[in-house]
Amino acid sequence: MITTRSSNSMCKRLRDRMKQVVVLVTLLATLIACGGGGNEQADDKVPAVNQAPTFTSNSSFNTLDNSLEIGYQATATDMEGDAITYSITGGMDEVDFLIEPDTGLVSFVLVPDFEQPHDNNTDNIYELEISATDSKNAVSRLTLKINVSGKRPLFIIPVVVHVLYQDSSEHESNITEEKILSQIAVLNKDFRMKNTDLDNVSEEYKLIVADMEIEFEMAKVNPDGEATNGITRTLDQTSELLHADIYFTAKGGHDAWPTTQYLNIWIFDGSNRNGDVGLGGRGQFPGEDPLTDGVIIPYQALGTIEPLARHQNLHLGRSTTHEIGHWFDLRHTDMQTNFMDTQVPDQQMLMFSEEQKTKVHAIFSVGGGREDLYKNLID
């Protein structure tokens, strides 16, 4: 039998349960309205942690000396697609480098010299730290080692060859382009210590043979900015007296191209009345008249392709190497097998010395005789 007291107690418990249900339903409705109706929706609303950029470029790189440009570019990716800024933030040799913030291109502050390294350990291995920072200031760092080798030329000199030829079927002075190019090949071997006859250098000088680190190429652009093969051809109408007119168009020769941009080589008929080469060539020292600045060479002594004065041992292109040595401010020497030895056949001129290299490089420094040429070539 249910009493009035027990009936009231049951109603009270029922009302309490109803209140709990209402509270639960209200809470559930609130969660659903806030996007909390499931784990998947809740996860989408959790803020993602910004990820630092990830480097994709290598941590080591090999390059050659004598150039500010290295060829290395720091690269990184960012998961969020943020812009990345690159900077140099450490390393034993950080002061030796610059980096472009937007592209990551790395370059030297000073031109490296393999023979006189200026890295901290003087071992031609330069160490620096590169940072990649995204727009939310998340940072990644890369330790980079730059290994420098000594094979790059100091620079490459553009050459213009002015051919002065005779208007006669008896003369072969209007020489071919191939003959001229054979001379350029000789120069690049002689000045880079790549000539195949180096084994014939006198024993006492073998330890001081030098790579001059200078190369040559035919000019590709003339002073007017037009394409060229680097060769001019002029009917020779000059006086034979000392070849003084060869440098001037108005006197039957050919004017020099700007001597702070080119090496001018004039080619002439060097034969005397006996058919022999009388003048083997002449190279002008730095600091003299810019209108006559360059080298003159008889066509019979140019390159390694006929016509050549073989009977006078002028057949290996070494006369031009010798005269360009003068153009680089080198004097004659009595050092046997040296390119600057005098009155010797081509096959006995084989090498430059370390001392000569130092002197030649000095003319390209501040105040040197060919400083302007150097500045124009490296710009």
DSSP states along 81-118: ---EEEEEEE-TTGGGEEE-TTT-EEEESS---TTS--
Whether residues 257 and 195 fall in one domain: yes
Q: Is the dihedral of CA 359, 182, 156, 201 positive or negative?
A: negative
Residue 46 placed within a domain: no
* Helix, strand counts (H, E) of the chain: 6, 15
- CA–CA dist 83, 102 (Å, integer): 9
What's the pLDDT band for 28 if we cut at 50, 70, 90? low
Cα distances (angstroms) measured from residue 43 to each of 31, 35, 47: 14, 10, 9
Residue 190 placed within a domain: yes
Which of these, 349, 348, 297, lies nearest to 327 by C-alpha position? 297
Tell me how many domains the chain contains.
Answer: 2
Whether residues 118 and 243 fall in one domain: no
Whether residues 136 and 163 fall in one domain: no
What's the pLDDT band for 283 if we cut at 50, 70, 90? very high
Last residue of one domain, picked from the residues 149, 170, 185: 149
Residue-level pLDDT at 42: 46
Q: What is the CATH number of the domain that holds 338?
A: 3.40.390.10
pTM of the model: 0.65
Last residue of one domain, picked from the residues 126, 149, 172: 149
Task: Work out the average pLDDT over 37-60.
Answer: 75
Q: Which domain holds residue 316?
A: 155-378
Which of these, 292, 263, 228, 255, lies nearest to 157 by C-alpha position? 263
Cα three-residue angle 152-318-181, rounded to 5 degrees: 65
Cα distances (angstroms) measured from residue 342 to each of 117, 133, 197, 254, 352: 35, 62, 18, 28, 14
Residue 72 placed within a domain: yes
Last residue of one domain, picked from the residues 98, 119, 149: 149
Residue 323 placed within a domain: yes
Whether residues 207 and 295 fall in one domain: yes
Whether residues 252 and 110 fall in one domain: no
Residue 282 placed within a domain: yes
What's the pLDDT band for 352 if we cut at 50, 70, 90? very high
Whether residues 78 and 205 fall in one domain: no
Residue-level pLDDT at 9: 57
pLDDT reading at 6 higher than 60: no
Q: Which residue has the higher pLDDT, 358 or 277?
A: 358
**SS3 label, residue 161:** strand
Residue-level pLDDT at 321: 97
Whether residues 115 and 232 fall in one domain: no
Whether residues 325 and 355 fall in one domain: yes
